[in-house]
Amino acid sequence: MSKLIVFNHISLDGYFVDTNGSMMWAKMDNIDADYNAFVGENASGDGSLLFGRLTYELMIKYWPTPMAKQHDPVVAEGMNNMPKFVFSRTMDKASWNNTTVVKGDLVAEVKKMKQQSGPGMAILGSGTIVSQLAAAGLIDEYQVVVNPIILGKGRTMFEDVKNMVKLNLTKTRRFKSGKVYVCYEPAV
């Protein structure tokens, strides 16, 4: 059975995107060598990436570009080479290499994907998908980087979760930049 993780940045007040849908604030102050090494280690893993259409459209604007290959070569290589699945009712095809568009029911499709053996899957961004899969109990691990910034307004990645989801803390790591990585698994 494949493991499904979420990796997202949040502000101290709990938002993963600001009111404009941007995550650029999470890229600020990335002069922390220890944090950058951590990102590089995470990006070099096996598995596949799951996106919603909006996140896919943001990712494709940067990761396949020469700028990404110059500024973030390790992450760019991982992002470009990993298999990617975009859940969308409106997209017909994807232009980013190794990308498949999935039009079926999100929860049913992810249940099928999790039944397959092999490396795990990661969701980056994609708050609507995170929210639906969290509510369905399909996420095995939540990896969150808390950024030392207060946005005041934005979107939480758990907007559609109506019932409490209890979690157990499994890992933490503090970085010089003030970012804090926390990892949780659903309580059994």
Cα–Cα dist 151/78, whole Å: 30
pLDDT at 167: 97
pLDDT at 140 over 70: yes
Positive or negative: CA dihedral 130, 131, 134, 138: negative
Share of the chain above pLDDT 70, in %: 97
Rounded CA-CA distance 20/12 in Å is 18
CA angle 3, 111, 52 (to 5 degrees): 85
- Tell me the average pLDDT of the chain: 90
Q: Please, which pLDDT band fits residue 24 given cuts at 50, 70 and 90?
A: confident
Please give the pLDDT value at position 45. 63
Is the predicted pLDDT of residue 102 greater than 90, yes or no?
yes
Mean pLDDT within 137-162: 94
pLDDT tens-digit profile of 31-72? 788 887 887 777 656 789 999 999 999 899 999 999 999 988
* Full DSSP string of 100-116: EEE-S-HHHHHHHHHHS
Rounded CA separation 37/138 (Å): 29
Confidence band of 22 (pLDDT split at 50, 70, 90)? confident
Class at the top of the CATH hierarchy for domain 4-186: alpha beta
Q: How far is CA 98 from CA 94, 117, 128, in A?
A: 9, 19, 22
